Amino acid sequence: MADEKFDVIIVGAGPAGASAAITCARTGLSTVLLERGEYPGAKNVQGGILYTKMLTEIIPDFWKEPKPPVERHITEQKVMLLSNQSAIHLGFKSADWRKEPHNCYSIIRVSFDRWYAKKAEEAGAELYTGVLVSDLIKKNGKICGVKTSEGDELFANVVIACDGVNSLLAQKAGLIDEWRPDEVALAVKETLALPKEKIEERFSLEANEGATFEMFGKVTEGMLGYAFLYTNKESLSLGVGCKVSHFQKTGIPPYELLDHLKAHPILKPLIKDAQSLEYSGHLIPEGGYYSMPPLYTDGFLIAGDAAQMVNPSHREGSNLAMTAGKLAAETVIESKKTGDTSSKFLSLYQKKLRETFIIPDLYDHKDLEEKIEERPELLTDIPDLVCNAAYEYFNVDGRAKRDVQSAILKKIFRNKAVRKIIKSELNLKNLLGLFKGAVKSALNYKNLS
């Protein structure tokens, strides 16, 4: 592999990198895919729900393969608000999600990433694993290759950085610094073995059907984040993640949060007798739209987590990574035709991203986390208040319903947190702030176009 020249070097064989490699190699570009793990997926962590649409745009009909790299197709999605003893569920189940192509699947990254990288090899890409890329090579200010920790140098017309949340390459290209603690979340996940029949019985699922639970409220101890529980074929993925800045502020260790989650009286019966198979932790880029770095420079593009392409409010990251990897590859394919790998030409990538769901979604969710952080009561007092109100509503204690309802309403409107939120929402300063924010966002959006 010493001192070779390729059309494109792709660093990182996660969803972004493999998508880019498949797309480039299929059109005959000489493509190399470098992965530091012993094998693709060796170090990768995901909850993990994968949306079908973006994968079928690269591997049509993948689910028809004899052994597709997926666990269960998801037919039910639930959001839960938890207090110490109770939970309010909001769920959606659809028979339409039983039809192929299914909306989404649970996956296990170790097997998924191996399968996906193999597709890149089948398309003609050269995959090298156990290769840590340690630097970029520049000539006349233009990026033209990479150096590995073993001292090898590889050259290419374009390098695509798909090296995940702590993108060394984006740093070396001068496009990002290290992320601030409020731009990343830390998630811990445990995979728990449970027999197939028990999973289907406990979660009311038909064979191969899966369910997802996203849990808010007490489970994050007032920090911004959420917990998740997803069903695999013969295991459960249970995890919780919060902003790193919140972990720093509270001093709560992430493993303690996961232990509390496992002991929660509503969760406990669902995971009873499940055996721990694996424990992992990983950062998630959650800075959103405002944290996105410049996505291109001369001879260089960034895709996926490396570019903060995650929409946490919809637990989407891997699908953004796939689409971005594919679009980065399509940009390289067009640059090959013109022979132009300048920053100006590669800006086409950003234009392509704007025409998909990626930039619009990140843009539309850009202020969500900040808004929640401005109202910490939403993470502390409100879940308790809502769960207590529901308890009182459903608990029959001999009072007339009208008395119960009026007591609940009084408690809600006399609650300090609720009054604070109402007061903070209904004032001129806040309304002006919202207006200014909208103008600022519109200008930023224009700048990215």
Ligand X SMILES: Cc1cc2nc3c(=O)[nH]c(=O)nc-3n(C[C@H](O)[C@H](O)[C@H](O)COP(=O)(O)OP(=O)(O)OC[C@H]3O[C@@H](n4cnc5c(N)ncnc54)[C@H](O)[C@@H]3O)c2cc1C
User: Which residues are at the interface with ligand X (CB under 6 A)?
Assistant: 11-17, 34-37, 43-49, 132-133, 162-164, 168, 187, 189, 239, 241, 282, 284, 304-306, 310, 315-319, 321
Pairing of strands 126-129, 4-11: unpaired
Q: How far is the CB of 238 from ligand X (least distance, A)?
A: 10
**Four-residue CA torsion sign, 151, 156, 161, 167:** positive
Q: How far is the CB of 412 from ligand X (least distance, A)?
A: 33
Of 83 and 243, CB closest to ligand X = 243
Q: At closest approach, how far in Å is the CB of 280 from ligand X?
A: 8
- Report whether 306 contacts 179 (CB < 8 A): no
**Considering beta carbons, is residue 186 or 387 the nearer one to ligand X?**
186
Smallest distance, ligand X to C-beta of residue 341, A = 21
Which is closer to ligand X, CB of 284 or CB of 387? 284
Give the Cα separation of 289 and 307 in Å (integer). Answer: 10
Q: Read off the tokens for 427.
A: 């004032």
Nearer Cβ to ligand X, position 297 or 319? 319
- Burial classification of residue 261, based on how many CB atoms lie within 10 Å of its CB (0-12 exposed, 13-18 middle, 19 or more buried): buried
CB 117 within 8 A of CB 83: no
Residue among 110, 113, 152 nearest 133 (CA): 152
How do the residues of the chain divide into helix, strand and coil, expressed in percent and rounded to 5?
45, 25, 30
Please, which residues have CB within 8 angstroms of residue 61's CB and are 6 or more apart in sequence?
Answer: none
- Collapse the DSSP code of 257 into the 3-class scheme (helix H, G, I; strand E, B; otherwise coil) and give the result: helix
CA 3 to chain centre: 35
What SS3 state is found at 133? strand
CB of 216 to ligand X, least distance (A): 15
Least Å from the CB of residue 309 to ligand X: 7
Least distance to ligand X, CB of residue 400, Å:
46
DSSP secondary-structure letter at 111? Answer: H
User: Contact, 238 vs 261, CB < 8 A?
Assistant: yes
DSSP, collapsed to helix, strand or coil, labels residue 449 as coil
CB nearer to ligand X: pick between 132 and 421: 132
**Minimum gap (Å) between residue 214 Cβ and ligand X:** 9
- Tell me the two tokens of residue 309: 């392409």
Given the complex with ligand X, which of 108 and 333 has the nearer CB atom?
Answer: 108
Residue closer to ligand X by CB (options 21, 387) is: 21
Which CB sits closer to ligand X, 49 or 387? 49
CB-nearer residue toward ligand X: 149 or 427: 149
In the bound complex, what is the minimum distance in angstroms from residue 101's beta carbon to ligand X? 17
Q: Which long-range contacts (CB under 8 A, 24 or more apart) does 84-92 make?
A: 84/218, 84/384, 85/265, 85/266, 85/387, 86/266, 86/387, 86/388, 86/390, 86/391, 87/215, 87/266, 87/387, 88/386, 88/387, 88/390
CB of 310 or CB of 346, closer to ligand X? 310
